[in-house]
């Protein structure tokens, strides 16, 4: 099966999954106790007639299944609906908030990959030596510690006590330096890194610890393989064996974890954004849940679900590039 046909097939498989997620989210959001109209009118004197008018305006007086079908009909056309509380389209709200979240998640993944793979390889090469024991302790702490707690500790140490790094907000690299009063792009880049460093480490530590443990295990297994023993018997240098033979095969589980843990990273971004006062999708999602803003809840859920599905499909496709034994076989 060719790459294009395989990709089309996997996207077709994802459609029922996304429909199921949309149904579940829509039902749960609308069955949550509370009245979104009364929440919207808090502090405003409103009689029953005004409440009924607003409910009719947003279609809240219609049966649940009709509202869902209307929502899906609009979603197919690219319309995610309108926010009750912000009087803006959901598409505009998500577009204004998705940048900081993507910047945070992608930088956290970059931090995790850049640190975990070298550390995992070194730990495998020095198995049962002091470095290996220390790396396993670090990995255990990283897996066991919530990202928000790590964020709080980083703020207390590096922002409050030492004063080296800022404790809140992000500097967006896509905005001009003049927006922040920076003298040129060099200062703008440096401030972007300074503001991103702490939330990036807080969110990426869990991913780093998980990937490091898997990398170590897979490298140990690869280095004990028959093909590695044969290469050593032929006198192939150890560095070549490590780079060309053991390393490439050991990356398949890493690709799987990177693709599947995207949802974990997006979920962790919600708490990380709160700790570091970042106005991303996580903050918007939390506010929408508190305010029972159904359209915003649905929009963000569908965006995250779509990103996760795309990540899984990219992971499957990347398999064939890493391991030639993996092919785009016939439909499962």
The SS3 of residue 327 is coil
Q: Degrees (nearest 5) of the Cα angle 194, 200, 201?
A: 100
DSSP 81-134: -B-TTT-SBHHHHHHHHHHHHHHHHHHHHHHHHHHHHHHHHHHHHTTTSHHHHH
List helix spans (H) across 126-224: 130-144, 147-154, 177-180, 184-223
Phi, psi of 82 (to 5 degrees): -130, 135
Cα dihedral 267/272/273/276 (nearest 10) = 180
pTM equals: 0.79
Phi, psi of 89 (to 5 degrees): -70, 150
Q: Is the domain covering 92-322 a CATH 1.10.3720.10 domain?
A: yes
Tokens linked to 118 = 């070298």
Question: What is the C-alpha separation between 126 and 249, in angstroms, rounded?
Answer: 19
So where are the chain's domains? Answer: 92-322
Give the count of beta carbons closer than 10 Å to the beta carbon of residue 199.
Answer: 30
- pLDDT digit of tens for each residue in the chain (332 aa)? 566 777 788 888 888 988 998 899 888 888 877 777 777 766 666 667 777 777 777 777 788 888 888 888 888 888 888 887 787 888 889 998 888 888 998 899 899 989 988 888 888 888 888 888 888 888 888 888 888 899 999 999 998 998 888 888 888 888 888 877 778 888 888 888 998 999 999 998 888 998 888 888 888 888 777 777 887 787 878 778 777 777 777 777 787 787 777 777 777 788 888 888 888 888 888 888 888 888 888 888 888 888 888 888 887 777 766 666 666 655 44
Question: What is the C-alpha separation between 1 and 3, in angstroms, rounded?
Answer: 7
């Amino acid at each position: 099966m060719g790459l294009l046909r395989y990709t089309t097939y996997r996207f077709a498989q994802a459609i029922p999954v996304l429909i199921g997620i949309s149904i579940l989210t829509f039902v749960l959001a609308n069955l949550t106790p509370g009245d979104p109209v009364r929440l919207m009118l808090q502090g405003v004197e409103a009689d029953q007639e005004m409440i009924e008018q607003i409910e009719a305006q947003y279609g809240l007086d219609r049966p649940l299944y009709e509202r869902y079908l209307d929502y899906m009909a609009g979603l197919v056309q690219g319309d995610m609906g309108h926010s009750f509380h912000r009087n803006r389209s959901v598409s505009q709200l998500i577009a204004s908030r998705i940048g900081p979240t993507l910047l945070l998640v992608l930088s956290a993944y970059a931090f995790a990959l850049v640190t975990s793979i070298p550390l995992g390889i070194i730990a495998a090469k020095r198995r049962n030596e002091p470095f290996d024991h220390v790396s396993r302790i670090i990995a255990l702490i990283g897996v066991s510690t919530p990202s928000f707690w790590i964020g709080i500790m980083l703020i207390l140490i590096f922002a409050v006590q030492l004063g080296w790094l800022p404790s809140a907000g992000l500097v967006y690299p896509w905005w001009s330096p003049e927006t922040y009063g920076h003298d040129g792009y060099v200062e703008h880049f440096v401030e972007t890194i300074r503001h991103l460093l702490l939330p990036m480490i807080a969110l990426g530590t869990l991913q780093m610890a998980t990937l490091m443990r898997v990398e170590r295990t897979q490298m140990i297994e690869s280095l004990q393989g028959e093909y590695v023993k044969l290469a050593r018997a032929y006198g192939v240098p150890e560095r070549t064996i490590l780079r060309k033979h053991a390393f490439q095969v050991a990356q398949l589980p890493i690709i799987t974890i990177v693709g599947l843990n995207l949802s974990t990273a997006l979920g962790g971004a919600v708490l990380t954004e709160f700790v570091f006062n970042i106005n991303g999708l996580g903050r918007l999602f939390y506010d929408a849940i508190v305010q029972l803003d159904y359209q915003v809840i649905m929009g963000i859920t569908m965006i995250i679900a779509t990103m996760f599905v795309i990540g899984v499909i990219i992971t499957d496709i990347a398999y064939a590039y890493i391991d030639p034994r993996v092919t785009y076989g016939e439909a499962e």
